[in-house]
Amino acid sequence: MSNRRRFLIAATSSAASLLAGAAATSAAETPATREAPPDHDMSAMPASWMGTDKIAMLLYPGFTALDLVGPQYFFANLMGATVHLVAKTHAPVTSDTGLSIVPTATLDECPSQLDVLFVPGSGGGVLDAMEDPALVAFVADRGARAKWVTSVCTGSLLLARAGLLTGYRATGHWVARDVLRDFGAIPVDERVVRDRNRVTGAGVSAGLDLGLTMVAELRDRSYAEGVQLLAEYAPKPPFDAGTPATAPQAVVDMIGGMFPGFIARARRIARDTQPTKGE
């Protein structure tokens, strides 16, 4: 018998044995005995991506839901972080569009030392919050010691009312952004503005950008890019009307003219009240 023939016979025999063994193993296994893969395999993640962040997101009646929910999605994707939804009581807090959120902590229960304090904006709700001594005192107290002080939309007005933006560059919703100047802040027309440890976002949808910005600050760019990909955040809006610079002038005039009472009241609050001392 040739060497070639002997090799083929040996190889065939070995293959048959392996197939028989595999078949026997498969037959012995059941769905209960086979180990299913985990739903989420995080074993490849660097140890440095696990944190202990304490994040407080303020709720008040009439807050804008997307101001909160967008950043909350990104904060909640920080491995090891604890996100507190903070309000005056544990009762559900209703947003300006009727969406209610259940708080996880009261003002008193919120940790005193925070990695991030976040304040959403709204229409009339934020003005009421700016005239609520308990909410202003909470924002001033936690913000003075937080590693990062953040907001979206008109939430920056509440930060300013609490004395946390005096002398800082900041942004907010374009309709009310210039009112920040009345509180001693420096208004900036940008989507996300960082000045030292103050990070503020423009109107509503800018909360998504602010959330990603903070994920990168609290972890790193690769982590933030991973969360962005997980969210499939790649906006391509059907209209190019998201800022006064790109929207038709008639639309800008219409929307801008809807808030004379809001602007007047915000300026009155700035004029009639002294901001609580922050950092």
What pLDDT, in 10s, does the model give residues 176-200? 999 999 999 999 999 999 999 999 9
As a whole number of angstroms, the distance between CA 59 and CA 63 comes to 7
Active site residue 153: yes
Which pLDDT does position 38 carry in this prediction?
83
Q: Which of 146, 272, 165 is nearest to 218 (CA)?
A: 146
CATH class of segment(s) 49-234+243-272: alpha beta
Identity at 232, one-letter amino acid code: E
Cβ neighbours of residue 91 closer than 8 Å, sequence gap 6 or more: 103
Which pLDDT does position 115 carry in this prediction?
98
Tens-digit pLDDT profile for residues 198-257: 999 999 999 999 999 999 999 999 999 999 999 999 999 999 999 999 999 999 999 999
Domain spans of the chain, in order of start: 49-234+243-272
Which pLDDT does position 14 carry in this prediction?
41
β-pairing, 192-195 with 198-201? antiparallel
- Check 58, 87, 107, 153 and give the catalytic one: 153
CA atoms within 13 A on the CB side of 214: 33
